[in-house]
Structure 1
Amino acid sequence: MIDKLSSGLDSSSNFLDERLLFDDLANFSIIPSSNVDHSSSYIPNNSRSMFVRLRRLDTKSKSESSAFRDGFFLLKKLHDNLGLTRAITQYAAYVYRKAYQKRIRIGGSITNLVYPSIYIACNELGSPRQISEILKFNPMSRKQFFRGYKKMFFSLEINTALHNPILILQRLGANLQLSEKIKRDVVSLLSDAKKEPQFCGYNRATLVAAAVYLLTSENKTSIPQHKIAKEFGISDVSLRNCYFKLRVLRQKN
């Protein structure tokens, strides 16, 4: 998980600050055009010239952060479209802000950081989403998405420990009718895999799908590879590549 002592996260707890959902952290950063203060009292004449200069500076600075602000508007829109929980949206806003501070860019657009941020937040909080599900509201390609995700993964030092793979099985593999023994073996194999650096950054659905394919093959209840890949929303190539690595790991153990 990303450094919790950074701005926006209470170091004494695991809860994110509600202010992270605002691009200006909910500070009073808007200077109104009228010469009144927050209590509707008129600003003294000797202070009005200072506010004129502040308004001029404020209008110039807004153009620089407009794309950053658009990212938060997009995040709030995807919160409704994807049916995200408030905790996931807050964490995605936190990741997006950290990526912006690190000056990470994907395809020349700041708003493209929002989609990997949501993907990371879903995985970190144990509610994985398929990449195709996240990208159906955005024209960016999977290749561009993974390029950006890789940048964020290494720059933000994200921890990719698996969060209860049985939830992924229940969510994505419900139609495969797996036995309880295979489910237990999948959890055991993935607990060994998360200790290996070669599996860092792997899509969790790919890892679970490859483990299911490997263990069903060993138990002579083999399910076609393309059926598993379709059920988990991944490609046959991704499943096969991960399968070979998991098979080597299982042989060592």
Structure 2
Amino acid sequence: MEKNKILVVDDDAKLRELLTRYLDQQGYSVETLPDARDIDRKLARNRPDLLVLDVMMPGEDGLALVRRLRAQGEMIPVIMLTARGEDIDRILGLEMGADDYLPKPFNPRELTARIQSVLRRHLATPALTASHDENALIHFGEFCLNLGQRELRQNDKPITLTSAEFAVISVLATHPRRPLTREQLMEMALGKGNGESLDRSIDVHISRLRKALDSETAGPRYIQTVWGYGYVFVPDGQARE
């Protein structure tokens, strides 16, 4: 069985060495870079399955790199490493298009768990209702969500989504008109719960999805806020009473 390839980009040489040894022991094929200068060449010649990317690096930093890659339509999964666990770094990373983040310092076992979760989301369809199979097409407005191909299209044009964003919209769309709490979305879409249930990442993913779905409207149509509760998917885009 071919190993998943992980590319670690971090200017801390000791951390790169530690993660190389540890992730290799966990069954991954690992390469590292000290900065982002050669990232485009790596993606073109020996494409990894996932990037582990430090926020604070010399030259092009992690946030700028993710923003550039996403703007180019590059949707390789990205886990960002944020110094001191600053909320602003985490939120900015998600807003730029990262799939997940991990504050430094961290236990390598936690990084492995995050890698497994992101790769699982990237390759598999999230939990569906009994009335939908993995090859279902869900139409709403000018959009079509293809669960089997993991693709969202608007008027037959593909919309770029991260694995986390696709997981969130899939869970919402397969539970139409059913309000879901942030905690439920964290668990059903991202496989996170308990201590992580109040994580603001759901709000950031929802915000990015709304920008994609409502770019030409004054407010959210399909993903509506249930105040004091969470979010609900409304396929016809009409305001709830």
> TM bucket by the smaller chain?
0.3 to 0.5
* Structure with larger Rg: 1
- TM-score (ref. length: structure 2): 0.39
Bigger fraction of residues in strand: 2
- TM-score (ref. length: structure 1): 0.37
Per chain length, whose mean CA-contact separation is higher, i.e. which structure has more relative contact order (CA < 8 Å, sep 6+)? 1
